[in-house]
Structure 1
Amino acid sequence: MLESILWILLAGFFVGQITRRLKAPALVGMALVGIILGPQVTDTISPDVLAASAPLRAIAVMIILMKAGLGLDREKLLQQGTVALRLGFLPALCEALFVAIAAIWLFKFDLPTGLLLGCIIGAESPAVIVPGMLRLKSLGWGVTKGIPDAILTGSALSDVLLLLVFNLLLSFLAQEAGGVTLPFGITLSAVQLLPLQIICQIILGVILSLVTARLLVVLLAKQNWTQNAVQDTLVAASFALLLVVLAEKFPFFSGYLAVMATGFFLIELDAPLARRLRSGFDSLWVVAEIVLFVLLGASIQLQVLEKTLLPGLLILAIGTLIGRALGWYLSTLGSNWNWRERLFLLSGNSAKATVQAAIGAIPLTQGIQGGETILAIAALSILVTAPLGAWAIPTFAPKLLERGEVDPTKVAIARRIVLLAAVDSSPLASQVLAKVAELARRSDGEIIVLHVIRTNEPYGVAHLREKSQRLLADIRHKFITVTGSVPEEIVRVAQDYQVAEIVMGKRGHRAWDEVLVGSVSQAVLESSPIPVILVEDERISVRGGK
């Protein structure tokens, strides 16, 4: 079992990075590793790990949905009106219906079995869509109109709807469907109960998420039961997983919807706590992503694809290009979305993976006629749409969406922090290097040490290089020297390396007295568009550049 975990993590990570460097989504490489390590090819993964794949995937989906909730923007959702709500129902329903019609035509399924396949294929993959939308938010694509937020919310709602219909159809095909008798002798069939079940799952999920979010705020922010962000994340992830487990035992609410809503309420109740948790769940997702997609690949049944390849591709095309496209049109009708933004839904709202892997084999295991075909098409939908969706989201967003201002309070902004330390040959260089090292350790940043060579320096360049190596031994840094005008070179190098801040001394000794007392520091402050930190005799004065 330990060997299997080792193979999953190492092979999944490195093959994922190779595919990323080849300009393909990392999940393609991870899924390929799963196929190779799985029972279909080398049978390397332990049966114990494969038996635990469903709960492991559930944990991974919980993590990514919590990330989604922590990135939602209430103002953007309100701005969209009913678009997010309609995206949660209409595209999934239209796709499920068209898939069912195509399955009846191609495979001679009856209507309930066709709809069963439609529910499986119509579900959207949070494992592909959520990371893609959060990345778009961090880069600003579509944020002005709240397009990523609408897609995130709609995706979660559509999965709730289709999973409920899927369970209803399973009961019907197994001849277990029954009605409920209400007071006054009113009897409702399973189909008539479905709208009530959907409303109940959504409302109870939202209520439980609000309770969970308030409890987390009390424990983590007000009573300070934790000492650091790692413990905050551990507790929050445990509570989120508890929601998923309770939803399985008591299927009266949507666990996944509750998890995402918990993240959303945390932003509203305690934004600083939400920011800490956002960083923690980003770290958890690094591992969870590998486990999710490798196990996803291992679950794909390659041997059942051969007979259904062409009709399966036709069904996927009909469901997406006709059914889902109709749902997208109806969902955005009357909105402020232009045709390019509506077209983006084809790439941003079509990926299948997680739900299909979770429920695709259930009809076969329950002995439903056509179950093997259903499983094959579910596997095909993963192989085709997951990598396409992961590639298409970042590829077409810059072409179809408008770029707006990023809200750092709602999403983690991935940024490589580089600091510039401008040092002379005076003893003050040690203080400058000590300060820039402190800042770099706080932000896990890198440092550019710049020395503008001048004549008559009391110490040589080699001495400065040795001092930098000693004081910055645990930090990635680069020592460079240039010649020319000191303030101009400082600003030029800072812009060339796109540094976040410039750290320099305010006063020098002897060789720098004439310039650093006023002219160099003043010239850098006046000409630099980058913030400048001036170090003065152990006292730090922070000023911003223009």
Structure 2
Amino acid sequence: MLGSIIWILLAGFFAGQMARRLQAPALVGMVLAGIALGPHAGNLLSPGVLESADSLRTIAVMVILMKAGLGLDREKLAQQGSVALRLGFLPAAGEAIAVALAAIWLFQFDIATGLLLGCVLGAESPAVIVPGMLRLKSLGWGVKKGIPDAILTGSTLSDVLLLLVFSLLLAFLSQGAAAGMTLPGGILLSPVQLLPVQVIAQIVLGILLGWVTARLLGLLLARQSWNAVQDVLVAAAVALGLVVLAGNFPIFSGYLAVMATGFFLIELNAPLARRLRGGFDSLWVIAEIVLFVLMGTSIQLTILAEQLLVGLLVLAIGTLIGRSLGWYLATLGSNWSWKERLFLLPGNSAKATVQAAIGAIPLAQGIDGGETILALAALSILITAPLGAWAIPTFAPRLLERGEVDPTKVSVSRSVVLLAAVDTSSLAKPVLTKVAELARRSDAKVVVLHVLRDEDATSVESLRDQTQRLLADIRHRFVTASGSVPEAILRAAQDYRAAEIVMGKRGHRSLNEALVGSISQAVLEASPLPVVVVEADSMAEPRP
């Protein structure tokens, strides 16, 4: 199993990087790596890992849904009113019905088996949609009208609906009839009559349990002096416990409870939510590889080839007719423009996670047409997952408006660059020591700038060696410039997009007296960035 895990991580990572270099989504390379490693091709993974695939996928989906919850914006959801709720039901229902009718026509399925296929193909993939929507939020696309938030919420609700219907149909087809419920007075409710009650119960109890969990996590973690890694460890274990609990007591949606936990954590304790957001971002780096590589291992290429053309036709009917009609009805009466409605086609169509999880179940339970269902589930992953991962960032700038980013709701990643301006005097050492301290705190890169004046080459080379010695554990570069020193410093800060400037001053006089007419004073007066001024024999003093 250890060898298999090494294969999954390394092959998935490098295949994803190669896909990125070819301007394709990383998940394309990861899925192809899974196909190559899986039992239908290279057969390089141990049976134990393949048997654990469902559990590993569950962990990965938990991570991505926690990320989604920690990125939701309550104000934007309230602004959209019922649009998010309608997106959670109408597109999925429309696609499932359209796929069912197409399956009855093309495969001669009965109504129940056709709807079973519709539930498999109609579910949306959080593994593709959540990272895509969170990236759009971090860049500001569609945030003014809360479009990414509506899509995130709608996709989760639609999966709740379709998974419930799928389990109902599977029980009916495998047992001949599904058990209903007898109410007091001898009233018998059929499974179809129970379905609305089950959907409402799963959603309401899932949200309620998410709120309770968020409260408990907030109280527990706020009272401890744990670091961010320990906080994420506890939160991830609790979130996974919700999913496991839902499997044993299927009266609520575990995935919805996880997403609701993240959402309520923002409202109850924003600093804690921000720490957890960064941790779950790091967990997703590994979870993404595991999820998509194992997804590839489940794809049977031989069965896929037999159903290729007719499968593409079924997918097209489901998306372009059934789902499109659902999108139109879901956004009817909203403030979305026609371009924003059109964005739902690339933004809300990707399929991967649910299809990989349930696509093989009908075949395993001996349902007629199970091989066809599995083949179309695999085809939907190979076609829509990479297409959706590519289309979301490609079409967002063309179809959505750009608004102001709210850093309290998403992780806005930025590479921090610090500019250290040094000369060949004794001030160089304290300046380099201070910039090294700041860089280690923020994992920043450092640009060390020396403006050439009348020094000899030996002095400059000595300064370069000193820089290498004091910044040995920090990503840095040593650059030189010529001309006016203040202008060169400000120009370098702009060229390298520095966040702060660190430079030195001489003497023990007051700062204002010492800097009158000096290089430091000129930089302080002209710089739009914070400037940290370092004295040779004192601590740094930040200046605005």
What is the TM-score with the length of structure 2 in the denominator?
Answer: 0.96
2:262 aligned residue: 263
Task: Mark the CA change 1:446 to 1:186 in structure 2 (over 3 Å): closer, same or farther.
Answer: same
In structure 2, list runs of 5 or more residues that go unmatched. Answer: none
Structure 2 matches for 1:147-546, cutoff 5 A? Answer: 147-174=147-174, 175-221=176-222, 223-224=223-224, 227-455=226-454, 460-507=459-506, 517-536=516-535, 537-544=537-544
After superposition, give the CA deviation of every residue in 1:125-161 in whole Å (9 maximum; x if it has no partner). 0001011111111111111111111111111000000
Q: Secondary structure at the match of 1:478?
A: strand
Structure 1 residue 417 displacement after superposition:
1.1
% same residue: 74
Please identify, of 17-26 and 530-539, the stretch whose mean Cα deviation from structure 2 is larger: 530-539
Does the 8 Å CA contact 1:506/1:517 hold for their aligned counterparts? no
> 2 CA distance for matches of 1:471 and 1:508?
24
After superposition, give the CA deviation of every residue in 1:236-284 in whole Å (9 maximum; x if it has no partner). 0000000000000000000000001100111111111111111111111
After superposition, give the CA deviation of every residue in 1:179-210 in whole Å (9 maximum; x if it has no partner). 21112332211101100000100111111111
2:5 aligned residue: 5
> 1 CA distance for matches of 2:47 and 2:306?
27
Structure 2 matches for 1:69-88, cutoff 5 A? Answer: 69-88=69-88
Structure 1 residue 528 displacement after superposition:
2.3
> 2 CA distance for matches of 1:508 and 1:352?
66
Task: Mark the CA change 1:7 to 1:527 in structure 2 (over 3 Å): closer, same or farther.
Answer: same
> 2 CA distance for matches of 1:407 and 1:198?
32
Does the 8 Å CA contact 1:127/1:353 hold for their aligned counterparts? yes
Structure 1 residue 539 displacement after superposition:
3.2
> 2 CA distance for matches of 1:81 and 1:540?
51
> 1 CA distance for matches of 2:347 and 2:13?
24
Structure 1 residue 459 displacement after superposition:
8.2
Which amino acid in 1 is paired with 2:438? L
Which amino acid in 2 is paired with 1:388? L
After superposition, give the CA deviation of every residue in 1:77-118 in whole Å (9 maximum; x if it has no partner). 111111111111111000001011111111111111100000
Structure 1 residue 502 displacement after superposition:
1.1
> 2 CA distance for matches of 1:476 and 1:18?
24
After superposition, give the CA deviation of every residue in 1:286-315 in whole Å (9 maximum; x if it has no partner). 111100000000011111112211110001
Which amino acid in 1 is paired with 2:331? T
> 1 CA distance for matches of 2:301 and 2:516?
73
Structure 1 residue 517 displacement after superposition:
4.8
> 1 CA distance for matches of 2:400 and 2:135?
14
Structure 2 matches for 1:103-122, cutoff 5 A? Answer: 103-122=103-122
- How many residue pairs were aligned? 539
Q: Secondary structure at the match of 1:460?
A: helix
CA RMSD of aligned residues (A): 1.7
Q: Secondary structure at the match of 1:479?
A: strand
Structure 1 residue 370 displacement after superposition:
0.7
Please identify, of 473-482 and 525-534, the stretch whose mean Cα deviation from structure 2 is larger: 525-534
> 1 CA distance for matches of 2:247 and 2:411?
31
Does the 8 Å CA contact 1:425/1:459 hold for their aligned counterparts? no
Does the 8 Å CA contact 1:197/1:252 hold for their aligned counterparts? yes
> 1 CA distance for matches of 2:9 and 2:143?
34
> 1 CA distance for matches of 2:137 and 2:525?
33
Q: Secondary structure at the match of 1:535?
A: strand
1:25 aligned residue: 25
> 2 CA distance for matches of 1:453 and 1:285?
46
1:50 aligned residue: 50
After superposition, give the CA deviation of every residue in 1:423-468 in whole Å (9 maximum; x if it has no partner). 1222222221112111111111100000111226898212211221
Does the 8 Å CA contact 1:126/1:155 hold for their aligned counterparts? yes
> 2 CA distance for matches of 1:307 and 1:23?
29
Structure 1 residue 541 displacement after superposition:
2.5
Structure 1 residue 543 displacement after superposition:
2.5
> 1 CA distance for matches of 2:356 and 2:156?
16
Q: Secondary structure at the match of 1:539?
A: coil
Structure 2 matches for 1:119-130, cutoff 5 A? Answer: 119-130=119-130
Structure 2 matches for 1:29-44, cutoff 5 A? Answer: 29-44=29-44
Q: Secondary structure at the match of 1:305?
A: helix
